[in-house]
Amino acid sequence: MPEKVNLDEKFGLFSAPWTPKVIGAVDDYEIKIVRIDGEFVWHAHDDVDELFVVLDGEMTVQFLDGDVSLGSGELLVVPKGVEHRPVAASECKAMIFEKKGTVNTGDTESDLTVAAPERL
Amino acid sequence: MPEKVNLDEKFGLFSAPWTPKVIGAVDDYEIKIVRIDGEFVWHAHDDVDELFVVLDGEMTVQFLDGDVSLGSGELLVVPKGVEHRPVAASECKAMIFEKKGTVNTGDTESDLTVAAPERL
């Protein structure tokens, strides 16, 4: 039988912000967790949607035409091709669901790019 | 810009157990929420994995070779083709992520079958 995943336990295994970790997969889609803290880079994912689910804390996803602020128990789907930038004034824990191979910085090369996220 | 979804707000729109509601989509995958209460039916989804994320309460996913109990902040991926049965002694709120068109009772026809879940 399959093994369950405890989110707090997985978050206990890393502390750096902007370093997504893969904690599971559904077909060709991956479940990731990430610590969001500070300002990310503007980017888009040309071919794939991206789901953010806020688990703890608060974050904002900036778009070219406005901001969406999210708290614990809220989620947002960033549609494919849409420029966006996640930011957080203090650390926010989030779960991400997106197609395997999706790079965190999308079409923007950056020091924050994690091409092959670690599997926890 | 896209609209956020508040999970508590969506749960406030229905009360019946075992009636999954679609609250969003990521490419061809759907985000659903469901109230789990009592015993579901044994079934499998031949071609698709299924993710359960427990938001509130406790549930158990029974397998032919054992049970997996999940509390708030825990998740489980049921692999494609694996017989399983979700149960809960009292109401449990869960989020589901699975391919669009996945029927809740899989290969088992039942009074609990929801072929076309409502979009909230």
- Concatenated DSSP letters for B78-106? E-TT--EEEEEEEEEEEEEEEETT--TTT
pLDDT tens digits along B40-69:
999 999 999 999 999 999 999 999 999 999
Number of domains observed in the structure of chain A: 1
Residue B27: the pLDDT is 98
Handedness of CA A12, B98, A76, B34 (dihedral sign): negative
pLDDT tens digits along A66-111:
999 999 999 999 999 999 999 999 999 999 999 999 999 999 999 9
Q: Hey, is B13 helix, strand or coil?
A: coil
Rounded CA separation A77/A22 (Å): 18
The ipTM assigned to this model is: 0.96
Rounded CA separation B112/B120 (Å): 19
**Of A24, A49, A74, which has the smallest distance from its Cβ to B75's Cβ?**
A24
Instruction: With beta carbons less than 8 A apart as the criterion, state whether B28 and B100 touch.
Output: yes
**H-only helix segments in chain B:** 7-11
**Over residues B72-77, mean pLDDT:** 98
Q: Name residues 47-86 of chain A within 8 A of B (Cβ).
A: 48-51, 53, 55, 63, 65-70, 73-80, 82
**Over residues A36-53, mean pLDDT:** 97
Asked if the structure places residue B110 within a domain, the reply is: no
**Rg, chain B, Cα only:** 13
Lowest pLDDT segment from B16-25, B27-36, B87-96, B108-117 = B108-117
Give me the CATH number covering residue A38. 2.60.120.10
pLDDT tens digits along B85-111:
999 999 999 999 999 999 999 999 999
Residue B8: the pLDDT is 98
Q: Which amino acid is at B59?
A: M
Residue B79: the pLDDT is 98
Rounded CA separation A86/A88 (Å): 7
- Secondary structure (DSSP) of A6-66: EHHHHHTT---TT--EEEEEETTEEEEEEEEEEE---B--SS--EEEEEEES-EEEEETTE
Question: Where in the sequence is the domain holding A56, given as residue range(s)?
Answer: 7-101
Asked if the structure places residue A119 within a domain, the reply is: no
Spatial neighbors of A95 by CB under 8 A, at least 6 apart, are A7, A31, A32, A33, A52, A53, A55, B53
Residue B75: the pLDDT is 98
Asked if the structure places residue B113 within a domain, the reply is: no
In this prediction, residue A33 has a pLDDT band, given cuts at 50, 70 and 90, of very high
Contacts of B24 in chain A (CB under 8 A): 51, 75, 77
Residue B13: the pLDDT is 98
